[in-house]
Amino acid sequence: MAVPRLRTERCFLRLEPRTLQGKLAHAATIKGATALGVPVAPEKIGRIDLIVAGSVAVDLTGARVGKGGGYSDLEWALARELRIVDDDTPVVTTVHELQVLADTLPMTPHDVPLDVVVTPERVIRARHRPKPAGIFWNELSEEQLAAMPALAKLRGSRKRSSRSRA
């Protein structure tokens, strides 16, 4: 799982269920995950088979609203840049039935669509839509990059790589 706001260079926490016997309930909380998880740099994660995104509201097409910071979309974009997720990686959320809106929510190009919405009453499979192919660098300010060391490091390596090819 990602650390809040991607604020460290090792911005993901690895939680190994087999080492958490008797501590799973605690590990499922933010405080517990922080205490029990091992910090990992994004490039050391390995392939991700499924993304579970938190949602405040969703629609039947797979659009979602999070808490408004855009970090879930940035986590996806970072993983996509590193090729540890792709367009076929399922993105799932769980919500209460009251959080499923009949109206269509707007989406921007950097928003990650959901593939599956699970409520206590039903499972909604959204039609497949392409997911963002990476980070929209032009949408990030220098202040945002400074606050997210892993993204700043990746951007720096991409800039160096493009200069060496030129």
Report pLDDT digits (tens) over 105-126. 999 999 999 999 999 999 999 9
Residue 134 near residue 77, CB atoms below 8 Å: yes
For residue 114, give both structure tokens: 């959901």
What pTM was computed for the model? 0.88
pLDDT of residue 164 exceeding 80: no
pLDDT tens sequence across 54-105 = 999 999 999 999 988 889 999 999 999 999 999 999 999 999 999 999 999 9
Averaged over 14-19, what is the pLDDT? Answer: 92
Measure the CA dihedral 4/6/8/10, to 10°.
Answer: 100
- Residue 157 is predicted with a pLDDT of 80
pLDDT of residue 149 exceeding 60: yes
Q: CB neighbours of 130 closer than 8 A, spacing ≥ 6? A: 87
Mean pLDDT in the chain?
92
Q: 158 or 111: whose pLDDT is higher?
A: 111
- Residue 118 is predicted with a pLDDT of 98
Q: What are phi and psi of 37, to 5 degrees?
A: -80, 155
- Residue 156 is predicted with a pLDDT of 83
Ordered domains of the chain (ranges, CATH): 1-45 (no CATH), 47-140 (3.40.50.10420)
